[in-house]
Structure 1
Amino acid sequence: MSTSATVVVTGPEGTNFFDPRLIIGPMQVGALVTAALFGSLVIQSYIYFTKFADSLGFKATVKIIQIGHFCAMISTLWTMTVTAYDDPTKLNVLPVGADITVLLTSITSFLTQASSGAKRASGSFYIYRLWRLSGNCLLPVVSEILCIAGQVAAFILVTKAITMSSFSRFVVEQTDVVLIALATRTICDITITAGVTWSLIQKRRNSIVKSTTIIDYLIMWTIENGLTTSLMTLSVMAVFLCLRETFVWFGLYLIQANVVANALLASLNRRLVLRKDRPLSDGDTAMVRSSLLCIACGIVHITPQRPIVIRVDVTHARDTESQIKTHDSFY
């Protein structure tokens, strides 16, 4: 009989053997994909820091966290492939590097979704952008509650993971907490995406004709980012429900942090596309273009444009009879 469903599998004759395909394999694939996404993040960070000067502190924080996440991934892979090479029972528990990656992944998602207190200074978006665009507090408050609940669940998981004695027992005991952490993130992403998209659609109806193309870009990019992050979390949840006793779901979860960070910088760097879309023309003033660019990163709130009422006073000057006679006397 196997001592752990995660590390040991029962063989044909009742013997126990180590199956690296379900343990080391998912972690290696996750580490390779994470490395590729980290390279993409480096390029996007270079573009952002060289082209834009707004709110560098918040984006630098996200970048530093991703560097720590990547280093923790390297440590995890080293432990699983080198340190535990001659003793697979060491993999009955998660390596310390894996615990750190869980913590940094949750912090990345929390910062990009719900750091509304710093967003006024940082110029970042998601919940803050939803609030500024919609002008309504209901959806932002609901999203904030969901995000905080997901972060609390993540902290509980990290605490339990550090003190675990068996990965299989940990998964069984913490199934509800894992599902809460993943479900709240997904619902939060969907709520933010739907709210921002609806707000942009409302502004499109009240905008000038030549601004609708820019708003269409913003709507498309909002949906793309929302689908990317929410589908990533849904994939982790689905794999967890089907293969919770293996490392497959955990290997997929390790990719999530870089997906969220890349989506963040992609949303910011897409302002370059709006700048180069077309030159300024009549009716498409620099003020309108600048304001719409700010919508992309949630810096300002643009109210719908109302019809401008212009009052024209016309004064007709008429010569009096005496003035006409005086005028005629000169001839």
Structure 2
Amino acid sequence: MASFNSHTTLGAYELGVLASFILFGVTTTQVYIYYTRFPHDSSTVKFLVAFVWACEMAHAICIGATLYSMTVVDFGRPELLLLIPRSLATAVIFSGIVGACVQVFFAYRIYGVSNSLYIPCLSWFLSFCRLLGSIMGCVYGFTTKTIPEYEVEWAWLLNSLWSVAAGNDLLIAGTLVYWLYRRRPEGDQRTVALIDKLVAWTMETGVVTSAAGLLTLICFVTMKSNYIWIAFFVVVARLYSNSLLASLNSRATLRALVHKTDVYIQNEIRTQSGTFALALPQSHAESDTGAIC
């Protein structure tokens, strides 16, 4: 490999793994916060969080094993970097599982807000296609010997996989924003504040995950001679898990916002009437928050 460039191969992958490990630490912290703050959540959501974290742990082990193989086991033999490590191929399926689970969760939120199954069913179908594509990508990673061969032979699969994932993210984010805005005129001051916050968070998470997928696709199409696209790929799964945990943990912030808004309304009514104050029970505020979230 006379043209071997360690910066765009080993260096790119190593930076991607380091960033992925940092985000995995953030995910683990958020999981701890979730189980501490919301012990009364349904067993289904608790299982989803545990399952996603377990898949993230397996994904981290796989990409870490790949890095060790590239930098230690195959040290001084750059020609071996062309081979597809089995651990890297295995990481593909864990990344697909995490992304599909998170998209299914947010698609179910669409159903909760809209009471319509059309968009959720479409999103669930796209999530299934993504999971199926990840399984195929893993299998073909075991049967294909080198990364250049994989990039040529299965480019259509990777292009489809990332395009479907990014499109589903945008579909979910756009639909949630649409239905939340439709409910905005129906609410009082407290509900409007909650919806505005949810809209901002939905747009942020949807844009981040879809942009990461599109960036991976662009790097794969334009820079197949290096591993920059692989570096982005090992980070994408962390963005999905962190968006899920951030969404669940944000309920504490939303409830605090409800309380703050209630206090503001009470003060406004006291100022205007001098005698009457509106008091809402805490349970009512929490139920509103849970319904919107």
TM-score by structure 2 length? 0.88
1:217 is the counterpart of 2:197: yes
Once the two structures are superposed, what CA deviation does each residue of 1:190-233 show, in whole Å capped at 9, x if it has no partner? 11111111111111111123321111111111111111111111
1:204-283 alignment, distance < 5 Å = 204-277=184-257, 278-279=259-260, 280-281=262-263, 282=278
Q: Which runs of 5+ in 2 are unaligned?
A: 264-277
1:22 corresponds in structure 2 to 8
Amino acid at match of 2:174: A
1:161 corresponds in structure 2 to 141
Once the two structures are superposed, what CA deviation does each residue of 1:225-245 show, in whole Å capped at 9, x if it has no partner? 111111111111111111123
Distance in 2, matches of 1:40 and 1:286, equals 30
Quote how far apart the aligned CAs of 1:295 are.
3.9
Distance in 2, matches of 1:244 and 1:287, equals 55
Distance in 1, matches of 2:157 and 2:207, equals 23
Change in CA separation of 1:69 and 1:230 when aligned onto 2, cut-off 3 Å: same
Distance in 2, matches of 1:69 and 1:296, equals 32
Distance in 1, matches of 2:53 and 2:106, equals 17
Quote how far apart the aligned CAs of 1:81 are.
0.1
1:51 corresponds in structure 2 to 37
Amino acid at match of 2:13: M
Change in CA separation of 1:296 and 1:29 when aligned onto 2, cut-off 3 Å: farther
RMSD of Structure 2 on Structure 1 (CA) = 1.6
Quote how far apart the aligned CAs of 1:102 are.
1.2
Quote how far apart the aligned CAs of 1:18 are.
3.0
Change in CA separation of 1:46 and 1:84 when aligned onto 2, cut-off 3 Å: same
Quick check: 1:127–1:192 contact (8 Å CA) kept in 2?
Answer: yes
Q: Which runs of 5+ in 1 are unaligned?
A: 1-7, 9-15, 115-124, 298-331
Amino acid at match of 1:267: S
1:190 is the counterpart of 2:170: yes
Quote how far apart the aligned CAs of 1:17 are.
4.8
1:73-152 alignment, distance < 5 Å = 73-114=63-104, 125-152=105-132
Aligned length: 273
Quote how far apart the aligned CAs of 1:178 are.
0.5
Query: Which structure has the greater CA radius of gyration?
Result: 1
Structure having the larger proportion of residues in helix = 2
Runs of 4+ aligned structure 1 residues displaced above 4 Å come to: none
Distance in 1, matches of 2:177 and 2:3, equals 52
* Percent of aligned pairs sharing the same letter: 25
Distance in 1, matches of 2:287 and 2:254, equals 12
2:19 corresponds in structure 1 to 33
TM-score by structure 1 length? 0.78
Quick check: 1:41–1:261 contact (8 Å CA) kept in 2?
Answer: yes
Amino acid at match of 1:216: D
Amino acid at match of 2:251: R
Quick check: 1:267–1:296 contact (8 Å CA) kept in 2?
Answer: no
Quick check: 2:166–2:213 contact (8 Å CA) kept in 1?
Answer: yes
Quick check: 2:63–2:87 contact (8 Å CA) kept in 1?
Answer: yes
Q: Secondary structure at the match of 2:76?
A: coil
Amino acid at match of 2:86: V
Change in CA separation of 1:162 and 1:168 when aligned onto 2, cut-off 3 Å: same
Quick check: 2:86–2:141 contact (8 Å CA) kept in 1?
Answer: no
Distance in 1, matches of 2:213 and 2:153, equals 21
Quick check: 1:103–1:155 contact (8 Å CA) kept in 2?
Answer: yes
